[in-house]
Structure 1
């Protein structure tokens, strides 16, 4: 079928010349009918055979030439240097050479700018990653101080210091994961995970943050096993927890964070619903909560909202093949659902 399309494209590209040839043949056929009526059929047969032969040979040559031009054009697009440009000019019609030279100059200019931007971006990412690792040193020292000098500070001061440390660690991890999400190689390791037990472990690791906001934690449903990457899933849960603690409604006496597992018999999929009883999200804001930098009306409850947490959640969930869904109304809290893929072991 490919060669039929090539023949059609050839006829379409040179349709004017083929039309002129056909009209000329019809004119000569008419003259042959007038001049040689007794041998008209023989002359017409010879003319048709000769015309088909004269059409087939140019079509074959044009198709062969077109393949050479396409190969040179692909090489030129992949590497628009002067050598490939000269090769393309050599195999192309002379009338196209000025356009090829102009296109080559534009492509080389764009490629030079892209290379410069790529180098600047690589330097920037390297600096950010280095800064993140440097920030971990004083945070580790702070953790060591909080553990070894427990008796020298009041429980309230220690709890507040741990809260600040956990917030800084969360910000640092967010930056680090943002850099990792853009990396070409991602070292995910998928393994069986007991979902509710894993959620309990994550909440225990962030107990100080939850206590500072006064959250009560509830776990609902049966224990279920899913296949995912532990670090990536932990990052998703941590960001959702941090998002809930940042958006506690004013004068809210008993904030609650629920983790509920649900198994769908029809789709054979496991869903984790994470819900809070915070201020909720308006109907017009709900479709955009996973967009980069979007804070919406929830952002008015706190100056800490950056719109990056749930954006990174959506990116990580995409890498882990986890579907995200969100439901909310103003004053009724926010429910974020993680729908895990059905993996056959």
Structure 2
């Protein structure tokens, strides 16, 4: 099939030359008919055989030449150094040499700029990771002081300080995960997880955020086992919790967040649904809430929005092969479903 396509491409590329050859042969056939009518059939047969042989040989040489040029061009694209550039020039028509050299110079220039940007990005990522680890030290010291000096401060002050600490830790984690988005190596470790127990543990680690907003937490459904990375999944759940607590309506009497686990037998899917009763998202904004930097146009969700929390959720979910679905209406809260991939137990 590839050979037929190459022959067709060759005929199409050199159609003018082949057409002139055929017209020339028809002209000579006409002259042979006028000059040698008694041997006309023999001459015509010889002309046809010669023409077909010339066409076949020409197509063979052209296709072979194109294969050589294509192979040299592929090597040049994989490694556009000067040696491969000269090799491509040797097998290409001389009229193309200046274009090839200009292209090689441009590619090497862009490649040098790209390598420089990659190094700068790696330095940036290393700096962010180092900064995150450094900032965690005073936060850990803050926790130590709050635990050891709890008798010296009121419970309200201590609770507010813990709330601020947890908010700072959440912001630091978002910075770290955002910096790692483009990393080539990601150290995920997939293992079986009891999803409701895992959610309860994650909620306990962020109880101060929920208490500050007066949230009640409910767990619905039967326990089920999924396969995922604990750190990545914890980050997803934490961001959804932070999103719900951050945008809880100020006039809500009983803000609630519900975790519901269920198994869809029809689709053979394990699903975790996280639902709040907050202000919700408008219909026109809902398709874009996972976009980077999107803050929406209507609803209380958009007042303090940075557009990063749910964006990072979508990116982490993609890495963990988790499908994320969101449903909402203004005034009816936000429902986010995490659909876990099917795993062959064998």
* TM-score above 0.5, yes or no: yes
Secondary structure, aligned partner of 1:278: coil
Structure 1 residue 101: Cα displacement = 2.2
1:226 aligns with 2:226: yes
Deviations 1:218-265 (A, max 9, x none): 111111111111111111000000000000112211100001122212
Find the aligned partners of 1:72 and 1:238 in 2 and give their Cα distance. Answer: 52
CA contact (8 A) 1:69 1:88 kept: yes
Find the aligned partners of 1:52 and 1:243 in 2 and give their Cα distance. Answer: 75
Aligned equivalent of 1:314 = 314
Aligned equivalent of 1:254 = 254
CA contact (8 A) 1:246 1:302 kept: no
Deviations 1:158-203 (A, max 9, x none): 1111111111111111111222332111111111111111111111
1:337 aligns with 2:337: yes
1:161 aligns with 2:164: no
CA contact (8 A) 1:194 1:224 kept: yes
CA shift in 2, pair 1:302/1:281, >3 Å: closer
RMSD over equivalenced CA pairs, Å: 1.6
Find the aligned partners of 1:279 and 1:98 in 2 and give their Cα distance. Answer: 64
CA contact (8 A) 1:219 1:258 kept: yes
CA shift in 2, pair 1:302/1:30, >3 Å: closer
Structure 1 residue 301: Cα displacement = 5.5
Secondary structure, aligned partner of 1:201: helix
Secondary structure, aligned partner of 1:181: coil
Find the aligned partners of 1:33 and 1:117 in 2 and give their Cα distance. Answer: 73
Which has the higher mean CA deviation after the structures are superposed, 142-151 or 221-230? 142-151
Ranges in structure 2 where 5+ consecutive residues have no aligned partner: none
Structure 1 residue 298: Cα displacement = 6.6
**Normalising to structure 1: TM-score of the pair?**
0.96
Find the aligned partners of 1:302 and 1:49 in 2 and give their Cα distance. Answer: 79
CA contact (8 A) 2:247 2:300 kept: no
Aligned equivalent of 2:242 = 242
Find the aligned partners of 2:195 and 2:165 in 1 and give their Cα distance. Answer: 27
Secondary structure, aligned partner of 2:257: strand
> Within 5 A, what are the aligned runs for 1:47-58?
47-58=47-58
Find the aligned partners of 2:64 and 2:321 in 1 and give their Cα distance. Answer: 46
> Within 5 A, what are the aligned runs for 1:1-345?
1-297=1-297, 304-345=304-345
Structure 1 residue 326: Cα displacement = 0.8
Number of corresponding residues:
345
Structure 1 residue 300: Cα displacement = 5.2
Find the aligned partners of 1:116 and 1:300 in 2 and give their Cα distance. Answer: 43
Which has the higher mean CA deviation after the structures are superposed, 83-92 or 127-136? 83-92
